[in-house]
Amino acid sequence: MKLMVLILNKTDALDNLLEGMSAAGLGGATIIESSGLATTLSRLDSSFISSSIRAILSGSEEDNRTILSVIRNDQLDIARKVIYNTVGDLSSPNTGILFTVPIDFVEGTRKNRRRFEDMLPQEQQEEQPQTAKPPVEEAPQKQKKRRFFGKRGKEKEDEQES
């Protein structure tokens, strides 16, 4: 499994990109509004960024979208084709950045919503302790009649019977 991250600068292609990804079977993505460091700094009235950098960045102050998607290893080529067909060559300026990060654990995705026991090999399932069954409630038993001895005991027995 991989986490595919696409930082899309060409936001006008977002709708077509998402439709293409869905049609190619790459369902499930999170889209986050984002902006780069240089763009954010250019918006600030800060002395940290020079006027020459502001001039270079002027006109490209649009925010971008970061698309996160968990994909299978064999889906990366399909995803790249969809991205290149809708967005264009990512080596072009102001297009986007694509990278993946390996994932060693995933839980909660549609395809992985199986019970934990179903994912274990058979021999490990047999080793797993069975969950304890809830105790069966027994029918309430009648209280035993206490026996008292002596003169006072006879009086107490009479009290219990009444």
What pLDDT shows up at residue 91? Answer: 93
CA distance readout (Å), 155 to 142, 143, 145, 146, 151: 22, 19, 14, 12, 7
Statement: residue 14 has pLDDT above 80: yes
Tens-digit pLDDT profile for residues 82-129: 999 999 999 998 899 999 999 999 888 766 555 455 555 665 555 555
Give the percent of the chain with pLDDT over 70. Answer: 55
Tens-digit pLDDT profile for residues 51-64: 555 555 555 556 89
Which domains, and CATH codes, for the chain?
2-35+62-104 (3.30.70.120)
Confidence at 31, pLDDT banded by 50, 70, 90: very high
Lowest mean pLDDT among 42-46, 64-68, 121-125, 150-154: 121-125
CA 108 from chain centre, in angstroms, equals 5
Q: Based on the number of CB atoms within 10 Å of its own CB, is 4 exposed (0-12), middle (13-18) or buried (19 or more)?
A: buried
